[in-house]
Amino acid sequence: AQKVTQAQTEISVVEKEDVTLDCVYETRDTTYYLFWYKQPPSGELVFLIRRNSFDEQNEISGRYSWNFQKSTSSFNFTITASQVVDSAVYFCALSEASGNQFYFGTGTSLTVIP
Amino acid sequence: GAVVSQHPSWVICKSGTSVKIECRSLDFQATTMFWYRQFPKQSLMLMATSNEGSKATYEQGVEKDKFLINHASLTLSTLTVTSAHPEDSSFYICSARSWGADGYTFGSGTRLTVV
């Protein structure tokens, strides 16, 4: 069963628009971690955020914000006032306390048009 | 912060040859490293878990004789793609448990092209 679902394959927005990337996850563990990574065309993974399952507080970091809702098993990521440099593929990932590996979503390719 | 150095960043090889990719943890000891493969426009899929001093654990469908993993020290894990074929062309990336903010540190990846 797929652990992490990113239903949006590709999104295009015009610069300065806000955009939300959706992430829905599935796990039976009560302790788990959720992540967002940015992958620019160069390929490296840039860590954006980690959230543990006991911390449902939303977080804001500059233009980035994250909405974690256990009730709907979602961990959505919003970019406010998008910029061209935000163009990349964004991955949501899950790590369960019972295991070592990551389960990556299929990624959302974001294109910000100037 | 915790750094994993991955080399080479890109490599082109002829079909039938072998290619070795290295991942080194520079400022921490990595008892466990993970190897992922990413085909174009697809997600990262775990290939194997590499444990220092023991045999790697491969995910279902990954040929262990083709993708040789060696984790001989606490700071170095290598992935060797043996008898490479064009279908092995992919982006390979390693990661290790670390004390970084995300608990894991990823290498910068290796883009392999087999011609």
pLDDT at A110 over 90: yes
Residue A87 pLDDT level (bands cut at 50, 70, 90)? very high
| Whole-number Å distance between alpha carbons of A13 and A63 | 15
Cα dist from A94 to A12, A48, A77, whole Å: 25, 14, 14
Kindly list the residues from chain A whose CB atom is less than 8 angstroms away from the CB atom of residue B95. Answer: 102
pLDDT of residue A1: 58
Kindly list the residues from chain A whose CB atom is less than 8 angstroms away from the CB atom of residue B2. Answer: none
pLDDT, tens digit (0-9, with 9 covering 90-100), for A26-68: 998 889 999 999 999 888 899 999 999 998 888 889 999 999 9
Nearest CA in chain B to A44: B108
Nearest 5°: the CA angle A105, A108, A110 is 160
Pairing label, strands B67-73, B76-81? antiparallel
The ranges of chain B with pLDDT < 70 are 99-102
Note whether A70 contacts B: Cβ–Cβ < 8 A.
no
Nearest CA in chain B to A40: B108
Distance from CA of A35 to the nearest CA of B (A): 8
Q: Could you give the maximum distance between any two Cα atoms of chain B, in Å? A: 40
The DSSP-derived string for B8-55 is: -SEEEE-TT--EEEEEEESSS--SEEEEEEE-TTS-EEEEEEEETTS-
pLDDT of residue A57: 84
The shortest CB-CB distance from B102 to any of A42, A50, A101 is to: A50
pLDDT of residue B99: 65
Tokens at residue B99, please?
């004390």
| Whole-number Å distance between alpha carbons of A93 and B114 | 29
